[in-house]
Amino acid sequence: MHASLIRRQLGGLVPPKIATPKSVAGGSGDGLGPLVNFYSKLPKGAATARAFGLKGRFFNGANASGAPLIALIASLFGIGYTIDYHMHLKHHKNHAH
């Protein structure tokens, strides 16, 4: 992985202006006040599970249904039938049954 990708992913974990080496390396603990204040304001407890994309929109939650699955099966059938029909027409182009 590239360093910039890792830095971008981990950049949101600790705010850069609060956890500076100067405030953390004080030794007495007085410099940790802003850091403790920041982390005390974060939400506590289990995070709510959210699903994104097609699964979250159609298969989870209050509006869960099997409509996308039915649409996928119907579209695959339609594509297969169309290909088969055109191949059959090519067969009859020069040959009669």
Residue-level pLDDT at 31: 63
Residue-level pLDDT at 58: 80
Query: Which has the closest alpha carbon to 38: 19, 11, 10?
Result: 19
Residue-level pLDDT at 39: 84
Residue-level pLDDT at 77: 97
Spatial distance between the Cα atoms of 81 and 89, rounded to a whole number of angstroms = 12
Token pair in block for residue 48: 């709510």
Spatial distance between the Cα atoms of 56 and 54, rounded to a whole number of angstroms = 6
- For residue 81, the surrounding DSSP H or E stretch is helix 67-94
The stretches in the chain having pLDDT less than 70 are: 1-3, 10-31, 95-97
- DSSP one-letter code for 49: P
Residue-level pLDDT at 92: 75
Spatial distance between the Cα atoms of 62 and 26, rounded to a whole number of angstroms = 52
Residue-level pLDDT at 89: 82
Alpha helices, H only, 2-51? 3-10, 21-24, 33-40
pTM for this prediction: 0.42
